[in-house]
Amino acid sequence: MFRVLHLADLHLGHRPDLPAPLQEEVCRERNGVLKAAVDLALDPRQEISMVLIAGDLFDHHQPEAPLVEETIRELGRLEAAGIRVVTVPGNHDEITYNDAVYRREARRWPGLLVTEPMPAKVATLNINGDACHLVAMAYTGGVSRVDGPLKDFPPAEGSGVTLAVFHGSLDWDGGERSLPLDGEALAAAGYDYIALGHIHRGGQKHLGRSQACYAGMVAGRSFADPGTGSWTIVTLGDGPARVEQVPAQVTPWRVVEVDVTAFHEPEELEAAIRESLDPGALMQVRLVGTIAFELALEGLQARLGHLCSYLELVNDTEGWAPEVLESLAAEPTIRGLFVRRLRAKLAGAAGPGEAELVRRALFRGLLALKGGGRSCRL
């Protein structure tokens, strides 16, 4: 029995689309994820014997020199402690280019660096007395022969444990820069565990007697690619592979939606947004629905922005800006007639109380008439 820390898609060196100095801070945290992974693997309680890196360790094939040095130093700590490291290049840190980090640093790369351009048995390692056979490939432009999903995988060995490591998309054609893998062919190969990279949200799938698993990206890159916030540890040996997720200490990227339709006052909306904020997170709050009052995002941002690590307010409401109202009023439709009448009422309102009432009636009425206006010509 032995335990493996399965990493993928760390995207070291990625700069998030955030304002300075937060960008620098989040970038530093992301680059620190490798050190955190190494510390976890070195923790004797975890009993980790091997670290698999299933592609996109770096965000770019030519990362900055200090980051490369730091990475080699960190992976070197694992090898020095007797933990085997296996690195498979991905599509962001593709080995194809002459100046690719994996070509320039191949000689001093700690552990086993996979360079075979097609699925192959790359090594048999002795892990705590067990034979561990490794099948992997490094997609290499112009050399890897990929026309449709890969089907030709070397079969698992009869004795010991066989692990496969691929950076690709299982039964899914992810476009030009993805390596498609045929699930049936992988199942037929009979591996004990298939360590995958490329799908950042992670996930597991049984393929015959094999367990296939995307480790996912631990620390997120953006609100659209928020990361898993967890490590993937696999126990191999007797019986099927057992996959475990262990929480990681990373700043979460969180998206919440606030429906503004039910609110009558700006203060109610502000309280709802306040309620939704997670102090430790990078947050995007998307406002949806129909708004019955003027939305002052700058003020909300100024009053609420300090309540979490970062706040991005996105206005996806279907409100009505003055120029939109102007064009609606010109329509030869019931909706146009409605807008003209309510605007006349608004102009003749006796005091701010009545004006507010008419304005709300205008917005609510427009919501009720939405979509039907243009077909009701008068």
> Which residues of this protein are in contact with Mn ion, per CB under 5 A?
9, 56
Minimum Å gap between C-beta 165 and Mn ion is: 14
Q: Quote the CA–CA distance of 220 and 11 in Å, as a whole number.
A: 9
Minimum Å gap between C-beta 9 and Mn ion is: 4
CB-nearer residue toward Mn ion: 56 or 192: 56
Q: How many CB atoms are closer than 10 A to CB 289? A: 17
Q: Specify whether the CB–CB gap between 218 and 227 falls below 8 A.
A: yes
Minimum Å gap between C-beta 114 and Mn ion is: 16
Minimum Å gap between C-beta 55 and Mn ion is: 7
CB-nearer residue toward Mn ion: 57 or 125: 57
CB-nearer residue toward Mn ion: 12 or 339: 12
Minimum Å gap between C-beta 121 and Mn ion is: 25
Q: Quote the CA–CA distance of 154 and 124 in Å, as a whole number.
A: 14
Tell me how far CA of residue 345 lies from CA of 355, 367, 368, in angstroms: 8, 18, 19
CB-nearer residue toward Mn ion: 3 or 167: 167
Dihedral class, residue 202 (left if φ above 0, else alpha if ψ from -120 to 50, else beta): left
CB-nearer residue toward Mn ion: 56 or 94: 56
- The dihedrals phi and psi of 241, each to the nearest 5 degrees, come to -60, 140
Minimum Å gap between C-beta 353 and Mn ion is: 57
CB-nearer residue toward Mn ion: 10 or 51: 10
CB-nearer residue toward Mn ion: 63 or 336: 63
Minimum Å gap between C-beta 167 and Mn ion is: 8
Q: Quote the CA–CA distance of 369 and 374 in Å, as a whole number.
A: 10
Dihedral class, residue 69 (left if φ above 0, else alpha if ψ from -120 to 50, else beta): alpha
Closest C-alpha among 22, 24, 105 to residue 58: 105
CB-nearer residue toward Mn ion: 179 or 362: 179
End-to-end CA distance of the chain: 79
CB-nearer residue toward Mn ion: 88 or 311: 88
Nearest residue to the partner Mn ion, using Cβ: 56
Buried b (16+ CB within 10 A) or exposed e, 55-81: bbbbbbbebeeebbebbeebbbbbeee
Q: Quote the CA–CA distance of 17 and 38 in Å, as a whole number.
A: 27
Minimum Å gap between C-beta 96 and Mn ion is: 16
Minimum Å gap between C-beta 10 and Mn ion is: 9
Write out the E strands in 160-309: 161-167, 169-170, 180-181, 193-197, 203-207, 210-214, 230-236, 242-247, 253-259, 282-288
Q: Quote the CA–CA distance of 114 and 137 in Å, as a whole number.
A: 6
Q: Is 107 helix (H, G, I), strand (E, B) or coil?
A: helix
- The dihedrals phi and psi of 329, each to the nearest 5 degrees, come to -65, -25
Centroid of chain to Cα 89: 19
